[in-house]
Structure 1
Amino acid sequence: MLLGRSIRKWWQALPPDKQELLKDNVKRHKWRILFGICSLSCLIAVYFWTHLDKNPITGRTRLLMFSKRQFLQLAEFEYQSVLESYKDKILPANDPMYKTTQFIFSQLVEKNKDIPGVSETKWSINVVEDPEINAFVMPNGQVFVLTGLFKAVADTDQLACILGHEMAHCLLGHGAEHASIIQLLDFVSLVFLTLIWAVFPRDGLAALGQWIQNKLIEYMFDRPYSRKLEIEADEVGLRLAAKACIDVRASSVYWQQLELMKIVSGTFQIPEWFSTHPSNDHRVEHLEKLIPEAIKLREECSCPSLPSVDPRLIFKLSMQEILKLSRKKEEAICSDSEAKHLSQCFEPSPVMIERIPIVVPVQTLQSTQSTHK
């Protein structure tokens, strides 16, 4: 910005005759200038080409501008920062939620040792007392699960699918890949930013141009790329869960539960285009296409037969029941309201729920699963 603004100010301060002289020089040496720009572009292209890497799990070619050692050093700094923010909230190893997480993650690691990076990574579990529905795995193998997630899942199968997804992010090196893409976008952004502040006649217009450029890069490149990485983690995570003998049918149910929570609680629905993550509906649709293949992989790993009760059917029945009860409650509220409040009946009031109830209790499902085993 300072460089571009300085060039503009310098140009505007030149007398008209000197401006014309410079223009003539540029026209006279335009091929030399073009050759210099092309040479520089080739050098930059060679630099990025030499930093392309093939993902050992998916075989997809990606840009990696950090070595594994460099990125692990950066991840260690971030880990210390996260640990500091959660230092008074981490649950002890004897806590039931910690034990559940440890057991599930151990199964994922044990059954997927043939996957590159699983055995080499030093995994460590951290369960944090926090109402947020979230879990993440850092590049150095530190697993963080927030207790709010336990209230959002219906059973351990859903929890295992989520942990498989987060584990996939780590194994696929998505952190280093996304950081590399951000660095590339920043480089391109700086080039255009210099031109914007040099060419635009006033600071106000240049600032507007800079804002437009940032938004275009964010919504046309950065966020779509993040969504692409999330979808890839869904695919690999589902395979990890299948090999660990998890009921992979529960993976799509979890995202349907989150979507229903948003609808019933009246939460604003952010369009997928504005988000770094795919929409819940998009994820459900994608996972449903992957589940048959995951079930086949599960059978190839000599896993016990799946329970006869499909969790997707259970959720469908539960959703119908919840929406029916919600409509009855709205009708009762409207009928008991005074005349001056009748206008509010046309706008459903949000119904706050902490968790989506399941028609068939979890204990029943567990006993059914035990019977099949």
Structure 2
Amino acid sequence: MVRLRIFLSFILLSSLVLVGCSTSPTGRKQLKLYSSNQIAQQGVLAFDHIKGKQKVSHNPRYKRYVQCVADSITKYVPKNVFNGKWEVVVFDSKQVNAFALPGGKIGVYTGLLKVAKNQDQLAAVVGHEVGHVIAEHGNERVSNNALVGIGLQVADAALKANDVKQSKTIMSALGVGSQVAVTLPFSRIQETEADEIGLNLMAKAGFEPKQSVELWKNMQKASGGSRNLEILSTHPAPESRIKDLQKHMNNALLIKKQSTNTPNCRI
């Protein structure tokens, strides 16, 4: 009976992988098990939850500034990703962060405005976050988490079927192994991909792509050199990020040269 459950789980796992395979905007293979509408609905719910829990800034200058940059960037989001007016909220927090969610939602923390020194650097962050949405990284993460969960269930059944001693300890190790070897490195791939997409977005919008590198130099200074080892981080180290951005810079500069946009967003 146990072996049958293992076999059926394996069949389900294989079927999900075959059905959910797709390709990202940069040509990378992805696993997406959920519909875009399902993920967008979750994005809207999550955004409403955040607005209910965190203080929203009512500074009109911040609002106009961030909205200006966001509008310039989201103008170039494919209509099949989101075809509507993006909701942009500035949160009153020291966090040096921003995010974008499926369903047309963008959040920027006021702490970021002290590190992103100009419109171009803010555009680099917003472009990156919107890049996650364009590449459907949310769908991909949820799908991969589900896949890892199914894989662990299969492994657990296999351990019990073979009477392996201390299976709970082994399962715990597998859980850590899955997180470090699968989830976190994959997230770093997504971050690098979002950087590339965001770099092109900001260039199309008329922002200066080279300022994305300056942004990460600022981030490095703001962190004071305090961060986890890259292998255990969900984000690339600033040095790696700068190197990857520079690799795609010539293409972004060409896009910028062809753009007729001249954004003028100021606090």
Instruction: Give TM-score scaled by structure 2 length.
Output: 0.89
Q: 1:118 to 1:199 in 2, by over 3 A?
A: closer
Q: Which residue in 2 is equivalent to 1:53?
A: 22
Q: 1:73 to 1:106 in 2, by over 3 A?
A: closer
Task: List per-residue Cα deviations over 1:284-315 (Å, max 9, x = no partner).
Answer: 111111112100111122456xxxxxxxxxxx
Whether contact under 8 Å (1:117, 1:171) holds in the other structure is no
Count of equivalent residues? 263
Q: Where in structure 2 are the equivalents of 1:201-220 lying within 5 Å?
A: 202=165, 205-220=166-181
Q: Which residue in 2 is equivalent to 1:227?
A: 188
Aligned partner letter, 1:290: H
Q: Where in structure 2 are the equivalents of 1:330-341 lying within 5 Å?
A: none
| Structure possessing the higher radius of gyration over alpha carbons | 1
Q: Please, which of 74, 84, 106 is the counterpart of residue 52 of structure 2?
A: 84
Q: 1:82 to 1:236 in 2, by over 3 A?
A: same
Instruction: Give TM-score scaled by structure 1 length.
Output: 0.65
3-state SS of the aligned residue for 2:209?
coil
3-state SS of the aligned residue for 1:145?
strand
Q: Which residue in 1 is equivalent to 2:212?
A: 251
Q: Please, which of 131, 134, 159 is the counterpart of residue 171 of structure 1?
A: 134
Whose RCO is larger (CA < 8 A, sep 6+)?
2
Whether contact under 8 Å (2:13, 2:150) holds in the other structure is no
1:98 aligns with 2:63: yes
1:156 aligns with 2:156: no
Whether contact under 8 Å (1:116, 1:171) holds in the other structure is no
Q: Which residue in 2 is equivalent to 1:297?
A: 255
Cα distance in 1 for partners of 2:9, 2:67 equals 52
Task: List per-residue Cα deviations over 1:11-51 (Å, max 9, x = no partner).
Answer: xxxxxxxxxxxxxxxxxxxxxx89x9778745542332122
Whether contact under 8 Å (2:43, 2:105) holds in the other structure is no
Cα distance in 1 for partners of 2:8, 2:116 equals 55
Aligned partner letter, 1:155: N
Q: 1:122 to 1:197 in 2, by over 3 A?
A: farther
3-state SS of the aligned residue for 1:50?
helix
Q: Please, which of 148, 169, 188 is the counterpart of residue 151 of structure 2?
A: 188
Cα distance in 2 for partners of 1:43, 1:146 equals 41
Whether contact under 8 Å (2:159, 2:167) holds in the other structure is yes
Cα distance in 2 for partners of 1:85, 1:37 equals 42
Tell me by how many angstroms 1:65 deviates: 0.9
For structure 2, the residue ranges without an aligned partner over 5 or more in a row are: none
Whether contact under 8 Å (2:100, 2:132) holds in the other structure is yes
3-state SS of the aligned residue for 1:144?
strand
Whether contact under 8 Å (2:152, 2:171) holds in the other structure is no
Q: Please, which of 229, 235, 258 is the counterpart of residue 271 of structure 1?
A: 229
Task: List per-residue Cα deviations over 1:43-65 (Å, max 9, x = no partner).
Answer: 5423321222234x334331111
Q: Please, which of 107, 114, 118 is the counterpart of residue 72 of structure 2?
A: 107
Whether contact under 8 Å (1:109, 1:119) holds in the other structure is no
Cα distance in 2 for partners of 1:40, 1:210 equals 17
For structure 1, the residue ranges without an aligned partner over 5 or more in a row are: 8-32, 305-362, 364-373
Cα distance in 2 for partners of 1:39, 1:211 equals 23
Whether contact under 8 Å (1:165, 1:234) holds in the other structure is yes
Cα distance in 1 for partners of 2:253, 2:92 equals 34
Aligned partner letter, 1:80: D
Tell me by how many angstroms 1:103 deviates: 0.8
Q: Percent identity over the alignment? A: 25
Cα distance in 1 for partners of 2:208, 2:84 equals 25
Superposition CA RMSD, Å = 2.6
Whether contact under 8 Å (1:122, 1:140) holds in the other structure is no
Whether contact under 8 Å (1:242, 1:248) holds in the other structure is yes
